[in-house]
Amino acid sequence: MKEKLSREEVLHVAELARIAVTEEEIEKYQVELKKLLNDVEKINEVKGYDDEILIAPWSHNTDLREDKEGEMLDPKKVIENAPRHSGNYIQVPVVIGESEGA
């Protein structure tokens, strides 16, 4: 296994990243990028969960209740029970980026 990338490989990566590199940086990156690629290869060797996709940290099915139509709440009572209200509207905390009174 080679210890550094070729000059052309480093220039190709620099072009993809749209960065200019000096001759000294090319020599430096030949070694550093190769070390980085070796580390990524080591990570790829770790046995993972290839056979099963983990969606949730539990394995049992979640039992959901059936949706049932219920009684409508009286809009006036809802507004009366809100901590702050103005007319037919419930007042909520200020949204980020807006100033109070605006």
Confirm whether 23 is domain-assigned: yes
Over range 51-78, report the average pLDDT: 79
Is residue 64 included in any domain, yes or no?
Answer: no
CATH code of residue 18: 1.10.20
Whether the CB-CB separation of 100 and 94 falls below 8 Å is answered with yes
Residue 16 domain-assigned (yes or no): yes
Asked whether residue 96 is domain-assigned, the answer is no
In-domain check, residue 22: yes
Average of per-residue pLDDT values in the chain: 84
- pLDDT tens digits for range 25-45: 999 999 999 999 999 988 888
| Confidence band of 61 (pLDDT split at 50, 70, 90) | confident
Residue 17 has pLDDT above 90, yes or no: yes
Per the model's pLDDT, the better-predicted residue between 79 and 62 turns out to be 79
State yes or no: pLDDT of 93 exceeds 90.
no
For 21, the domain range is 7-45
Return the pLDDT at 62: 73
The answer to whether residue 90 is domain-embedded is no
